[in-house]
Copies of this chain bind each other. A is one copy, B any other.
Amino acid sequence: MSCLLDGRPAEALPLDDRGVSYGDALFETLRVVAGRPEAWSDHLARLARGAARLGLPDPDQGALAADVAHLFEDGGDGILRLWWSRGSGGRGYRPPEPATPRRMACRFPPATAPAATATVRHCRTRLARQPLLAGLKHANRLEQVLARSEWNDPDIHEGLVCDTDGWLVEAVQSNLFWVREGVLETPDLSESGVAGIIRNRVLNLAKGAGLPVREVRRPPEALTAASEAFLTNSVVHLWPIARCEGREWPAPGPVARELVPRLSQDLEQRP
């Protein structure tokens, strides 16, 4: 891992940063291919939306782009993590006015190639319903930490999580899609979950391909009844689900097979 803090190489962060104290920060994780960050404008837009929602200063897009250029000046591949916090503050929750935000950009090695299909499980951990934070990629992630702590089996790739009312929301680090009676469904994220960049691209591509799509509230049984299912995130893109606790699907299914090349093309054409 190699990091820039406010544009300068760094290994440490001031102790009084509000990210440290309260998770008062946002982040983005994305793939960089040959020095080029994927879906860059989408990630910047989500970061800006999150900042507006939390009352954080607007991210400095030029400075973030310069960080990426610096970290990937070798034109290599890797995973990029951006982090945008409210900066240093005193004791107490009250945000400093004006805040002096702090930005961090870190380069990680490329992800190891995942298995061709995913095996998933249902998590016991449930996500709270909080419309004020739903959709954001904020740094309050204890629920995800608890959910990911539920299994150690390396043959289980992801865990599906419901909200406290029992509706499917997402997987621990991916969004979830399934096909039900010819309709591509994915959980509604107005109360919980992270509105993934690839999720949004897939929804638009499916609509563009004439496939009916629906954002829904469904119990876990909806997955069992599905004809196919897949995960999406910015590192793996689209990952067909082959197994979930006894239920098996031939994977990839027809909808995944149609969407994968469209998604690759879309990510190349609209960086």
How many angstroms from the CA of A72 to the CA of B19 in the assembled complex?
Answer: 26
Residues 81-99 (chain A) with a chain B CB within 8 angstroms: 81, 83, 86, 90-95, 97
Asked if A164 meets B129 with Cβ closer than 8 Å, knowing A23-B141, A24-B141, A92-B173, the reply is yes
Q: Contact: A3 with B23, CB < 8 Å? A: no
A52 interface contact, C-beta 8 A: no
List, in ascending order, chain B residues with CB within 8 A of A108's CB.
Answer: 90-91
Residues 1-46 (chain A) with a chain B CB within 8 angstroms: 1, 3, 5, 10-25, 27, 29
Residues 122-179 (chain A) with a chain B CB within 8 angstroms: 125-126, 128-133, 138-149, 152, 164, 172-173
Partner of A141, one of B14, B16, B140, B148: B140
Asked if A140 meets B23 with Cβ closer than 8 Å, knowing A93-B172, A145-B93, the reply is yes
How many angstroms from the CA of A24 to the CA of B147 in the assembled complex?
Answer: 13
Report the minimum CB–CB distance from A6 to chain B (whole Å).
12
Asked if A95 meets B20 with Cβ closer than 8 Å, knowing A10-B15, A15-B10, the reply is no
Q: Contact: A141 with B93, CB < 8 Å? A: yes
Q: Contact: B23 with A27, CB < 8 Å? A: no
Nearest residue (CB) in B for A14 is B12
Q: Contact: B148 with A138, CB < 8 Å? A: no
Chain B proximity mask over A73-87: 1 for CB below 8 Å, otherwise 0? 000000101010010
A residues contacting B by CB (< 8 A) are: 1, 3, 5, 10-25, 27, 29, 54-55, 79, 81, 83, 86, 90-95, 97, 104, 106, 108, 125-126, 128-133, 138-149, 152, 164, 172-173
24 A-B pairs whose Cβ atoms sit less than 8 Å apart in the complex: A1-B90, A11-B14, A12-B12, A17-B20, A18-B145, A21-B139, A22-B140, A22-B142, A22-B145, A23-B141, A23-B142, A54-B142, A54-B145, A54-B146, A55-B149, A79-B91, A90-B108, A93-B172, A94-B148, A95-B149, A97-B152, A126-B132, A129-B164, A133-B143
